[in-house]
Chains A and B, each alone.
Chain A
Amino acid sequence: EVQLVESGGGLVQPGGSLRLSCAASGFTFSDHYMDWVRQAPGKGLEWVGRIRNKANSYTTEYAASVKGRFTISGDDSKNSLYLQMNSLNTEDTAIYYCARASLKTGHWSFDLWGRGTLVTVSS
């Protein structure tokens, strides 16, 4: 089955760290770009960042709100995506989704989403 499954969410204190994982199955992980998107409670979707595939040197992009605090990495051998989150603050409280981007007619667009994992930053 083609799917993405996130894990690693939980309760963390302000200033703390957390590492999220996203396990991919049913497709060739290394063919795709992978992104993290988050959604604060009752709010809209916010793009967090992206890691390109091996063919594009695994380069990364980040939203300004997380740049310097969050790091995206991947492991093709484990078909897994990671999000290392440091210096967390209450505004980082959200459901974190991993999303697959596929190349179609020159467009790298999202076509598969995980169910998400909840991160709560609170003292």
Chain B
Amino acid sequence: DIQMTQSPSSLSASVGDRVTITCRASQAISNYLAWFQQKPGKAPKSLIYAASSLQSGVPSKFSGSGSGTDFTLTISSLQPEDFATYYCQHYRNYPLAFGGGTKVE
């Protein structure tokens, strides 16, 4: 099974900061990688698929990059509504798997 490891597990940032979150797959997954945002008490929201493609309606301050085993999610200028937990997920094969999450606070 493919394992997903996110770093850091949490980070402290301020409004206006550029934030980068890293996700590493235990084996190559090409670009079968998605990113999700989850706020406390809410359902996850899909941000990015295919490692770098924005889901419909997602603002361009979010960007994703990477291929193979190493991926990043970048928030170009952190806004108050962006404080949340972010998860990566591979869908290269089964079982699908999520990273452990990165809490941005």
Please, what's the 1-or-0 string for A82-116, where 1 marks a CB less than 8 Å from any CB in chain B?
00000000000000010100001101111111111
- A26 at the A/B interface (Cβ < 8 Å)? no
Q: How far in angstroms is the closest Cβ of chain A from B81?
A: 18
Q: Which residues of A contact B1 (CB under 8 A)?
A: 64
Contact A97 B50 (CB under 8 A): no
Contact B46 A105 (CB under 8 A): no
Q: Which residues of B contact A76 (CB under 8 A)?
A: none
Chain A residues bordering chain B, tally (CB within 8 A) = 25
Also in contact, A63 and B43, with CB within 8 A (given A45-B87, A107-B32): no
Kindly identify, within residues 15 to 30 of chain B, every residue whose CB is under 8 Å from any CB belonging to chain A. none
* Complex CA–CA separation, A99 to B91 (angstroms): 14
Contact A44 B34 (CB under 8 A): no
Closest to A105 in B: B50
Number of A-B contacts (CB under 8 A): 66
Instruction: Kindly state the interface size class of chain B when it binds its partner.
Output: 20 to 34
- B61 at the A/B interface (Cβ < 8 Å)? no
- A75 at the A/B interface (Cβ < 8 Å)? no
Q: How far in angstroms is the closest Cβ of chain B from A114?
A: 6
* Complex CA–CA separation, A99 to B97 (angstroms): 14
* Complex CA–CA separation, A28 to B66 (angstroms): 32
Contact A44 B49 (CB under 8 A): no
Also in contact, A97 and B44, with CB within 8 A (given A105-B53, A109-B34, A109-B49): yes
Q: Which residues of A contact B34 (CB under 8 A)?
A: 109-110
Contact B95 A110 (CB under 8 A): no
Also in contact, A109 and B95, with CB within 8 A (given A45-B36, A97-B44, A115-B43): no
Given contacts A64-B95, A115-B43, 14 further A-B contacts (CB under 8 A): A35-B96, A44-B99, A44-B100, A45-B87, A45-B89, A107-B49, A108-B91, A109-B91, A110-B44, A110-B89, A111-B55, A114-B43, A115-B42, A116-B43
When A and B form their complex, which 10 residue pairs have the shortest distance between CB atoms, in order from nearest? Answer: A109-B49, A47-B96, A45-B98, A113-B43, A61-B94, A44-B101, A107-B50, A111-B46, A63-B95, A109-B34
